[in-house]
Amino acid sequence: MSEQTATCMDTILDEVLGRYPARPSSLIAVLQDLQEALNFLPPVALNRVASALHVPRSQVYHVATFYKAFSLTPRGKHLVSICRGTACHVQGDEKVADMLHAELGIRDGETSADGEFTLQSVRCLGCCSLAPVIMIDREVFGNLTAAALRRALAQYRDDMTS
Amino acid sequence: MITSPEQLAEYRAKCRSAQTLLRPRLLVGMATCGLASGAAKVFAALREEAALRGVDIDIVATGCKGACFLEPLIDAVIPGKARVTYAGVTVEDVPDLLDAVLAGAVYAKRALARETAECLLIEDCAEPYPADANLEGVPAYDAVPFFHGQLHLAMRNCGYLDPTSIDEYIARGGYAAAARALTTMTPEQIIEAIKTSGLRGRGGGGFPTGRKWESCRKAHGTPKYVVCNADEGDPGAYMDRSILESDPHSVLEGMIIGSFAVGANQGFIYVREEYPLAVERLRHAITQAEELGLLGTNIFDTGHDFTLRINRGAGAFVCGESTALMASLEGRVGEPRAKYIHTVESGLWGKPSCLNNVETWNNVPVVIQRGAEWFAGIGTEGSKGTKVFSLVGKVRHVGLVEVPMGMTLRAVIEGIGGGVPEGRQLKAIQTGGPSGGCIPAEYLDSPVDFESLSSLGSMMGSGGVIVMDDRTCMVDVARYFLAFLKDESCGKCVPCREGTGRMLDILTAICEGRGEPGDIEILRDLATVMSEASLCGLGTSAANPVLTTLQYFADEYQAHIADHTCPAKVCRALLRYSILTEACTGCAACAKVCPVNAISGERKSPHVIDETACIKCGQCYEICRFSAIEVA
């Protein structure tokens, strides 16, 4: 890690840790904010969190690997979540997964080679009336067809170039 | 600051006069479903057009009325006139809609329904709107099949107010129940009222809420906590998201009353991270309530202190279980513990903790304001009040419906839901999420309440109703739920961790044509062990989807195991796609859509599918306009 990224990481860590009281019950909230700021949880951050919140390192790793919201490896710039709820399953979530595979060349849990998209399956997104549904970052796209999916992805690809 | 019921009444009068409609007002449904249907664009276009014309009109974002299949929905409120709801509004409709509203008329093209009276359910008041010739041809709400027979208690404010405004909540009678409870009732009287009302937990278990509160009040140990379970995890259920996004203050008010009743000064709301808008709305609501002194110290000058905090979940289904949720609130992994001692006695940090879900808390102010007897008059003997269901899957009208308990499944699915889409047959109804089961179509006349659903082998759960038609494979549904549960099992106890995995292996084998004669018996054995020996509800109920499908759809299992066929034509490994030469026109639509280029042929002459390359995705079948693709 370069010196510059190390300083940047320290600033983010200080800032996030400053938002919550330094006690064990803050652990999940701190990790959530770090995941959002850094896009993954590097070991150096987990170690800092352990000592700052007075939580054993083993427990920090336990939490960081238990919950699906956390990733110990870098995620793509955009997170594509396929809803695997019952309504989406009945309306063809497998087909959506196939279409995403065809478009991005990645399967569940993988990140595209250009580092732009990470694909993950999530339990119900709670948008069952729009099934089948995906969420890109925080935007929900429902009643997906192949064409609608391509449009949605293009929107995020364009975002990157502009 | 509001420190007495009188001040609340004064404040409310002020809010009402500020809002008393001197000018027209448009409410655009902007909960997640509305947004995904393009409501934000319509909202922006309305504001732009209104600004351009320089007209005096309020355009505000509101929550979800439940009619998700009709989004974007807009309510027009014109002074002295009936409230009219417009459905499926597009950006192109904006100028004409504005013209109509500004002229005090009706935009007939998108008009869905009209209200006959301005009513506030929580106060039992209704003021009929004057007759209006403009409204001819616009049906009353109750005449629209989707709304006929619905009774909105929990959803009383959804779609009627701006969820970011505490003033609008107070104007609609909000926080009056909290004022009444805290200043005129003792904690014991409140608990008695909740008990008399018959309110039962809406999150799945259906435990009597009043008894839970009573146990927590009587439990030794301080401090005590109240917790709101907003970790709505059952796939296919989303009423809690909608309530939080559309009417966050109702949940806060219920929790204030509950905290006073059980003697807690600190509350937590545990919300799924998948619901960012709900989190935002709750944060905002809490800040507003604090500013008015409705949260904080000495609420209504009674000496009662209560603060609320929000915790976001981190993506673990098991955290909907009470002990796992509390472990997660403490910053630990969400693993349940054995409940020899209930959480009302030893919950969060080992202290007495009272946990209810969103819809339960939201019902509390209604019980207090309308009275326990009134509430107990709705529903059935054992299931009082209403329940919000998310009606989804293969049904025409998808959305949230709130009906009195005891309505038949038929009335919900065929009446309100409009039945399955044309040409299809209703096969089963899945309720209760992964802990529930699949009820076959012949039980359509069963009432929907806690007891009836349990007697059919399913359960109420949090209210997901997923309609399945003849193109749904019941073995695949069972496999789907087991895949879900295996993935979400926390792994702490062996019966659940190993049991879900083994069940999934067997079900996957059956779906792939590798099923063996003894499989069903092994599934039943596993189900017995898991239900008796698992640590928490996730494991004890994990076999329900398998048991109910085995009970009602045994022949489908047999077809998979003995004949290696999938009657619903869902299980891919058992399907074969081919092109009927006589029907194929050679339009090449299938070849274009095939993701693996397995279809070839000359233009304008019949195509063929290369079976070795085909991944059986079915896209060719979907796109063919000549029924030339055969699935066997």
Answer CATH for B18-141 from 3.40.640.10, 3.40.50.80, 2.60.40.1220, 3.40.30.10:
3.40.30.10
Which chain B residue is nearest to residue A24, measuring alpha carbons? B331
More confident residue, B4 or B32: B4
Whether A157 has a pLDDT exceeding 90, the answer reads no
Q: How far apart are CA B416 and CA B468, in angstroms?
A: 16
Q: What is the pLDDT, as a whole number, of residue A127? A: 85
Residues from chain A contacting residue B593 (CB–CB below 8 Å): 146
**Confidence label for B616 from pLDDT (cuts 50, 70 and 90):** confident
* B116 contacts chain A (CB < 8 A): no
Query: Which residue among A67, A123, A127 places its CB closest to the CB of B314?
Result: A67
Query: Which residue among B311, B466, B490 places its CB closest to the CB of A87?
Result: B466
For chain B, give the percent of residues with pLDDT over 90.
85
Query: Which residue among A26, A68, A85 places its CB closest to the CB of B331?
Result: A26
Give me the domains of chain A, ranges plus CATH numbers: 3-66 (1.10.10), 78-161 (3.40.30.10)
A146-159 as b/e: b if 16+ CB within 10 A:
beebeebbeebeee
Sequential DSSP letters for A89-112:
HHTTHHHHHHHHHHHHS--TT-B-
Which chain A residue is nearest to residue B489, measuring alpha carbons? A66
Q: How far apart are CA B617 and CA A146, in angstroms?
A: 12
Which chain B residue is nearest to residue A53, measuring alpha carbons? B331
Which chain B residue is nearest to residue A27, measuring alpha carbons? B331
Mean predicted confidence (pLDDT) in B94-108? 94
B465-520 residue pLDDT tens: 999 999 999 999 999 999 999 999 999 999 999 999 999 999 999 999 999 999 99
B370-419 residue pLDDT tens: 999 999 999 999 999 999 999 999 999 999 999 999 999 999 999 999 99
**Confidence label for A80 from pLDDT (cuts 50, 70 and 90):** very high
Q: What is the pLDDT, as a whole number, of residue B211? A: 97
Q: Do B235 and A131 touch (CB under 8 A)?
A: no
Q: Do A69 and B314 touch (CB under 8 A)?
A: yes
Mean predicted confidence (pLDDT) in B312-336? 94
Q: What is the pLDDT, as a whole number, of residue A3? A: 64
Q: What is the pLDDT, as a whole number, of residue A2? A: 59
Q: What is the pLDDT, as a whole number, of residue A45? A: 95
Which candidate, B447, B427, B454, B467, places its Cα nearest to that of B556? Answer: B427
Answer CATH for B175-374 from 3.20.20.70, 3.30.2310.20, 3.40.50.11540, 3.40.50.300:
3.40.50.11540
Q: What is the pLDDT, as a whole number, of residue A130? A: 87
Which fold is adopted by the domain B386-469?
Ubiquitin-like (UB roll) (3.10.20)
Which chain A residue is nearest to residue B483, measuring alpha carbons? A84
Rounded to the nearest 5°, which phi and psi values hold at B11?
A: -60, -40
| Token pair for B174 | 């909000």
Q: Which residue shows structure tokens 């030339």?
A: B628
Q: What angle in degrees, to the nearest 10, is found between the helix axes of B239-246 and B276-291?
A: 40
In chain A, % helix, strand, coil (3-state, to 5) comes to 55, 10, 35
Phi-psi region of B129 (alpha: psi -120 to 50; beta: other; left: phi over 0): beta
Residues from chain B contacting residue A97 (CB–CB below 8 Å): none
Q: Which 8-state DSSP code applies to residue A125?
A: -
B539-568 residue pLDDT tens: 999 999 999 999 999 999 999 999 999 999
Check: CB of residue B587 under 8 Å from CB of residue B556. Answer: no
How high does pLDDT run on average in chain B?
94
Residues from chain B contacting residue A141 (CB–CB below 8 Å): 36
Residue-range domain boundaries for chain B? 18-141, 175-374, 386-469, 474-562, 576-631
Q: Which 8-state DSSP code applies to residue B91?
A: G
Which candidate, A153, A145, A73, places its Cα nearest to that of A109? Answer: A73
* B552 contacts chain A (CB < 8 A): no
CA distance B565 to chain A (A): 19
How high does pLDDT run on average in chain A?
89
| Token pair for B595 | 């993701």
Q: Do B315 and A122 touch (CB under 8 A)?
A: yes
Q: Which CATH class is domain B474-562?
A: mainly alpha
* B72 contacts chain A (CB < 8 A): no
**Confidence label for B20 from pLDDT (cuts 50, 70 and 90):** low
**Confidence label for A159 from pLDDT (cuts 50, 70 and 90):** low
**Confidence label for B422 from pLDDT (cuts 50, 70 and 90):** confident
Mean predicted confidence (pLDDT) in A98-114? 90
Which candidate, A28, A7, A21, places its Cα nearest to that of B327? Answer: A28
Q: What is the pLDDT, as a whole number, of residue A161? A: 47
Q: Do A66 and B234 touch (CB under 8 A)?
A: no
Amino acid at B300: F
Whether B21 has a pLDDT exceeding 70, the answer reads no
Q: Do B237 and A90 touch (CB under 8 A)?
A: no
What residues contact residue A137 under an 8 Å CB cut-off, 6+ apart? A78, A79, A156
Residues from chain A contacting residue B615 (CB–CB below 8 Å): 98
Q: Do A130 and B36 touch (CB under 8 A)?
A: yes
Architecture of domain B576-631: 2-Layer Sandwich (3.30)
Which chain B residue is nearest to residue A60, measuring alpha carbons? B332
Whether B342 has a pLDDT exceeding 80, the answer reads yes
Length of chain B: 632
CA distances to B394, B397, B414, B418, B430 from B421, rounded to whole Å, are 7, 9, 11, 8, 17
Which candidate in B269, B274, B615 is best for mutational testing of the A interface (most A CBs within 10 A)?
B274
Task: Assign B311 to helix, strand or coil.
Answer: strand
Name residue B77's beta-bridge partners.
B25
B64-77 residue pLDDT tens: 899 999 999 999 99
Q: How far apart are CA B425 and CA B429, in angstroms?
A: 12
CA distance A9 to chain B (A): 22
Whether A162 has a pLDDT exceeding 50, the answer reads no
Query: Which residue among A27, A62, A90 places its CB closest to the CB of B466?
Result: A90
B165-195 residue pLDDT tens: 999 999 999 999 999 999 999 999 999 999 9
Query: pTM for the whole thing?
Result: 0.93
Mean predicted confidence (pLDDT) in A53-79? 94
**Confidence label for B204 from pLDDT (cuts 50, 70 and 90):** confident
Query: Which residue among B233, B333, B393 places its CB closest to the CB of A123?
Result: B233
Q: How far apart are CA B539 and CA B494, in angstroms?
A: 10
Q: Do A28 and B311 touch (CB under 8 A)?
A: yes
Q: What is the pLDDT, as a whole number, of residue B56? A: 85
Amino acid at B576: R
**Confidence label for B593 from pLDDT (cuts 50, 70 and 90):** confident
Q: What is the pLDDT, as a whole number, of residue A92? A: 86
More confident residue, B131 or B252: B252
Q: Do A131 and B392 touch (CB under 8 A)?
A: yes
CA distances to A73, B42, B159, B563 from B92, rounded to whole Å, are 46, 9, 23, 54
Which candidate in A23, A26, A128 is best for mutational testing of the B interface (most B CBs within 10 A)?
A128
